[in-house]
Structure 1
Amino acid sequence: MRMGLAANALHHDQDDAALFRWLRACEQGIGELKLSLHAVGRTHAAIERSGCLAGYPGLLRYPYGREGGLMKLVAEVVGMHAPERTLDGAIYLIDPVDPSSVFPEAVALKRQCVIHQKPFVSTVASARDWIEMERIQAGLAPDPGANDLHVLEKQTIALIAHDAMKPQMMAYAADHFDVLARFAQRVATGTTGQQLNELAWSRGWPQGEQWVQRYQSGPMGGDAQIADLVLERRCQRAIFFEDPHVARQHEADIQLLERAVTTVTDETVCMTSPRVAARWADALRKRAALCRLG
């Protein structure tokens, strides 16, 4: 498996920065998965200075950003007609107030991951969660160090889908209703929330009792309301099915929610495509079964 890797300066300029917190927590899992990390220049240099992944053959250096390193990651997420030049996704630890996080190549990296249904991992919590998901899918035993991520009964999950993606969200919720029902609370913006409640009522949830707490529609500020929950550490996961092909009048609200997620990088997991979210739900069931047996 090959993943692009980049981190804004805030996340690698101190010994306890986000990049190193992730690597120290997941170094064993990275090795178990034989994960290839295709790191842009400054991120690669920071990892070498830190001593993390010392001697690891899967850490590959790409050019610095100013030399086109992030642009190369975008092209390889799309695929360059050779297995060694095709990435399975990208880990990009974002500082939401770093201007480079909104450069065209940074925005395109996420967009192409969403279009090609590949993981786009933008927070420490998401990176830890993704490694554990892939470990479980590889048949490895659960990592006790990831247990804090899986106490769903104490967590809130946001379920958000733009208009063109609402059918995919409803299909996802129907297929993985058992997983979503484990959460202490579910929240969503207007129409998505209503449709999810109707689905729950059809599954036997008490009529009139909300399975999902509804906020305003996205254009009316629902994304901002949920962003506030994220910033207050009252929403720990977000499944956000975006339509990357349509210009949206409330783009600023969408970006606000994304920025809130990356602001609390250690606390919030975000998934942006149905394929990735389905793989996570499947891994979650497998992990729970393994923990019961253990």
Structure 2
Amino acid sequence: MRMGLAANQRHHGHEDAALFRWLRACEPGIRELELGLHAVGRTCDAIVRAGWLNNYPALRRYPYGRDGGLMKLVAEVVGLQESERALDGAIYLIDPVDPSSIFPEAIALKRQCVIHQKPFISTVASARDWVEIERIHAGFAPDPGANELHALETHTLALIAHDAMKPQMLAFAAEHFDLLSRFAARVATGTTGQRLNELAWSRGWPQDKPWVQRYQSGPMGGDAQIADLVLERRCQRAIFFEDPHVARQHEADIQLLERAVTTVTDATVCMTSPKVAARWAEAVALRKAAV
């Protein structure tokens, strides 16, 4: 597998920065997977300077962002004719107050990952979780260091879907109902929450008990309400099925939720497409059977 890799300055500027916390937790797994990391210039330089991934041939340096490094990652997520220039997704550790996080190439990187159903990983928690998911699919024994990410019975899950993606969210919830029911709590915005509750009641969930706690609809502020849960570290995982093709009047609210997730980078895992979420669900079952 090959993943694009970038981190904003704050996330590689000191020895305990987010990039290095991820590598500290996951370098053994990266080596086990022989994961190709196609890293934008400053990010790659910081890894080498800090002494991580020494003698690791699958670490590949790209140009600085100002010289087109991030743009090249976008093109390779889409896929180019040369087989070695296709990426399976991107890890972009975002500092939400860094202006470069909203440059066109940064926005395009996420959008193309969502369109092509590839993982877009923007937090340390998501990056740690993704490495463990891929390790499990590759047949490696569970990493005890990732147990906290799989303590679903103590976690709150947010289930959010744009209008065009609501059928996919309902299908995902129906297929993985027992898994999602393991969470201590589930939250959702208005219409999505109502439909998920109706699904749960049809599956035998007690009629007088909501399966998900409903917040306001997205346009009426539901995304902001869930963002507050994230910021208070009361929501540990978000499954957010985004429609990248439609402009939305409440785009600022959606961005607010995404910024909240990246603000508490070690605390919340976020998945943004049905294919990525399904692969996670499969890994959870495999990991539970192996523990």
* TM bucket, shorter chain: over 0.9
Query: Aligned equivalents of 2:208 and 2:196: distance in 1?
Result: 13
Match of 2:76 in 1: 76
Is 1:262 paired with 2:257? no
Q: CA deviation at 1:209?
A: 1.1
Please give the secondary structure, in 2, of the residue aligned with 1:219: helix
Which one-letter code corresponds to 1:281 in the other structure?
A: A
Q: CA deviation at 1:107?
A: 0.2
Please give the secondary structure, in 2, of the residue aligned with 1:252: helix
Is 1:243 paired with 2:243? yes
Match of 1:288 in 2: 288
Which one-letter code corresponds to 2:61 in the other structure?
A: R
Please give the secondary structure, in 1, of the residue aligned with 2:5: strand
Q: CA deviation at 1:60?
A: 0.2
Is 1:19 paired with 2:10? no
Equivalent residue runs for 1:93-242 within 5 Å: 93-242=93-242
Query: Aligned equivalents of 2:248 and 2:74: distance in 1?
Result: 22
Which one-letter code corresponds to 1:145 in the other structure?
A: G
Residue deviations 1:27-69, cap 9 Å, x none?
Answer: 0000000000000000000000000101100100000000000
The 4+ residue runs of structure 1 with deviation greater than 4 A are: none
Match of 1:271 in 2: 271
With normalisation by structure 1, the TM-score equals 0.99
Is 1:4 paired with 2:4? yes
Query: Aligned equivalents of 2:254 and 2:6: distance in 1?
Result: 22
Query: Aligned equivalents of 2:140 and 2:101: distance in 1?
Result: 34
Please give the secondary structure, in 2, of the residue aligned with 1:206: coil
Equivalent pairs: percent with the same residue? Answer: 81
Query: Aligned equivalents of 1:51 and 1:243: distance in 2?
Result: 40
Match of 2:39 in 1: 39
Which one-letter code corresponds to 2:140 in the other structure?
A: L
Query: Aligned equivalents of 2:53 and 2:223: distance in 1?
Result: 38
Is 1:64 paired with 2:64? yes
Please give the secondary structure, in 2, of the residue aligned with 1:235: coil
Query: Aligned equivalents of 1:273 and 1:256: distance in 2?
Result: 19
Which one-letter code corresponds to 1:123 in the other structure?
A: T
With normalisation by structure 2, the TM-score equals 1.00
* Structure 2, unaligned runs of 5 or more: none
Query: Aligned equivalents of 2:269 and 2:83: distance in 1?
Result: 29
Q: CA deviation at 1:208?
A: 2.8
Which one-letter code corresponds to 1:131 in the other structure?
A: V
Query: Aligned equivalents of 1:205 and 1:177: distance in 2?
Result: 11
Query: Aligned equivalents of 1:186 and 1:95: distance in 2?
Result: 27
Query: Aligned equivalents of 2:164 and 2:176: distance in 1?
Result: 20
Query: Aligned equivalents of 1:81 and 1:175: distance in 2?
Result: 36
Match of 1:253 in 2: 253
For the aligned residues, what is the CA RMSD?
Answer: 0.4
Q: CA deviation at 1:81?
A: 1.4
Q: CA deviation at 1:178?
A: 1.2
